[in-house]
A and B are shown apart, each in its own frame.
Chain A
Amino acid sequence: MSPPDPLVSLPRPEPEFRHLSGLCRDSGCCLDLNWRCELAPGSDRAGFQESLLADGYELRCNHSALRVLRHADGHELAWVLTSGRLQIRVGIDVEPEEREAAARDIHHRLVRSLEETAAEDRQGFALERGRYPRAAPIRSQSGREA
């Protein structure tokens, strides 16, 4: 069998943030609608989910390996718990030329939310230990603990 004939590939996300990677385009059925970033290993997943729900997201899928959340403003997040992959799905009503900016805005809000969750977690750990229930360790496909 001849080797695959790659045609297009995407650059890896950059720049990196502490809890969430930078943003890059992800494949999707419409122009610039889907964007990808990765949650850092060891992030407080339960706390993150709680903060998303507090920020107006509604849980649409609560699979053991996956969360899909929809925001009241029309955008969605699809989050793979095993790998930390997070797909931002900009609302279809956003004009194509404004979608990248919309995705970056959502991304910034997620970064801020993660930072706040981490800060509260550190504070809570010191002051009222166990405020956020800890997620059970999740193993990646390779068996490594994330």
Chain B
Amino acid sequence: MTNLKDLSQDIPGHDLKLLGSAPYVYHCHHFNLFHDQTVEDALGQEEGFKIRSQAARRAAWHLISDAVRAKGAATPVERLQLAASIFSWMGQGSLELLADANGGSARGDHLHYSFAWREKYGSKVRRHFPIDAFAAGFAAAATEVAFDLTPGMLSPGEKACFACRQPGCEFEIVPASESDPAEPVDSETLKRHVRTPGTGIEEHRITQITQGLNEFLLGVEGDHRGLVQGFGIFITRHLSGYYDQTAYDTIHFIEKQAPQATTAVESLFGESGHVCVFNTFGNLLLSPEWEGLVGPVQGEVEEIVTSCAAIARSLGFGHWTVEELIPGERLVMHSTSNYEFPFYLETYGKSEKPRCYFFANAARAIMQLAHRVDWPSRPELTEDLYLNLFKKGLKWDIEETCCCSKGDDFCEVVVTKRK
């Protein structure tokens, strides 16, 4: 397994993480499944798979190309091995690439999406359509890079999927009808679009916690299956370009083809922020790692909100600050960098409306966690509790009053108590 730690870095002051020059973030399987399900719900399974595998191929192509240069991987075999190592480092599972310049096949084991889908839904729902679009796109990109092919010359498909109760995951990689070159949204792009980082309430505490979490996360390594467990949560180091492209392409498609459904689809991508904050932030706060690194959670509103800002920064979500907090009434958060607006500005240009769906809804979820969870009782963050908190008892309204994707100097979300 290739050591990739030397390729991992931050953009100082902006709380964005890079592998080589490719931006990545930490997300757990609850978020990943919800995000991809939203794409599927909006576009259908077949088109959803196509959009997701294409986004994966684009983002992975730049990542793998970058790593190949940095590591001096010269031969196709070396490059394919490096790509498989990156895939496992990301917590995506194990991928065996069996391809030549005309394509070929790939086999996956413990793939994050199918394995997590079986874990979460397998006993309740039977799935008939393959789910591992990310692995498929990644396999195509790896083969293209290994054999110096033009990006997009290969097209991937999943022939067998563990989520569909097949024994393992199998992919075929075939020549595509046309190439798909795309400019990378990389570290230079991010630096061009992020704004001057600000400071907010409890900045010292947030910075200190972020630093401790960053140091801890640097030491977190995957296991032999290519799964990464940190804070008792199965996490991925995932390419933010994948989330951005799939979300924005889906929303744009709906805006054009079915404008009456736009709000519903935007709400679902926003809800992924609830899913992430509840599962990842919540479980992180309850973890032994948090207790050891920061101390046991007391449950004060200010403590939870500022802790969540630190968690967001350490997961590579950008420089989130707490501008105003009145417990029980109001929260104002700013972000001068995050993983949403730089991609939007670079790929689609200035927007007429706010586009940081994740950031805005995560702020609402933070207020919900801060006010409605009895932290000292050490609750289990179950699906039932999620439904209670976010489907039956959501007490907060949000408004994204400023957004960098509209040309503002920072993103601002105002969370207020629902009357």
Contacts and interface: CB of A to CB of B under 8 A. Distances in A.
Q: Do A and B come from one complex?
A: yes
Contact of A89 (B216, B229, B377): B229
Contacts of A78: 232, 287-289
A8 B234 CA distance: 23
Interface residues of B, number: 47
A14 interface: no
A127 to B, nearest CB: 35
A7 B372 contact: yes
Contact of A66 (B120, B289, B328, B389): B289
Interface string B318-337: 00000000011000000000
Given A9-B374, A78-B289, A61 B219 contact: yes
A7 B374 contact: yes
Contacts of A87: 232, 287-288
Interface in B211-239: 216, 219, 221, 223, 227, 229, 232-234
Interface string A50-69: 00000000001101011010
B119 A10 contact: no
Interface stretch (A24-32, A40-48, A105-113, A117-125): A24-32
A66 B296 CA distance: 13
B385 A29 contact: no
A83 B301 CA distance: 23
Contacts of A29: 28-30, 232-234, 279-280, 283
B379 A9 contact: yes
Interface string A62-90: 01011010100010101111110111010
B232 A89 contact: yes
Contacts of B292: 63, 65-66, 80-82
B293 A66 contact: yes
A96 interface: yes
Contact of B377 (A10, A30, A60): A10
Contacts of A6: 373-374, 377, 379
Nearest to B295: A141
Nearest to B116: A30
Nearest to B29: A29
A107 B258 CA distance: 55
Contact of B293 (A2, A36, A65): A65
A5 interface: yes
Nearest to B379: A8
Contacts of A5: 371-372, 374
A8 B382 contact: yes
A34 B232 contact: yes
A15 interface: no
Contacts of A33: 232
Interface in B379-410: 379-382, 384-385, 388-389
Nearest to A77: B288
Contacts of A26: 232, 286, 378, 380
Contacts of A130: none
B373 A7 contact: yes
A18 to B, nearest CB: 22
Contact of B301 (A1, A70, A89): A1
Contact of B216 (A4, A61, A74): A61
B371 A4 contact: yes
B383 to A, nearest CB: 9
A92 interface: yes
Contacts of B288: 66, 78-80, 85-87
26 contacts: A4-B371, A4-B373, A6-B373, A6-B374, A6-B377, A6-B379, A8-B374, A8-B379, A9-B379, A26-B286, A26-B378, A27-B232, A27-B282, A27-B379, A29-B232, A29-B233, A29-B234, A30-B119, A68-B289, A74-B223, A78-B289, A81-B292, A86-B288, A87-B288, A92-B227, A96-B123
Interface of B: 28-30, 115, 119-120, 123, 216, 219, 221, 223, 227, 229, 232-234, 279-280, 282-283, 286-289, 291-293, 295-296, 299, 301, 327-328, 371-374, 377-382, 384-385, 388-389
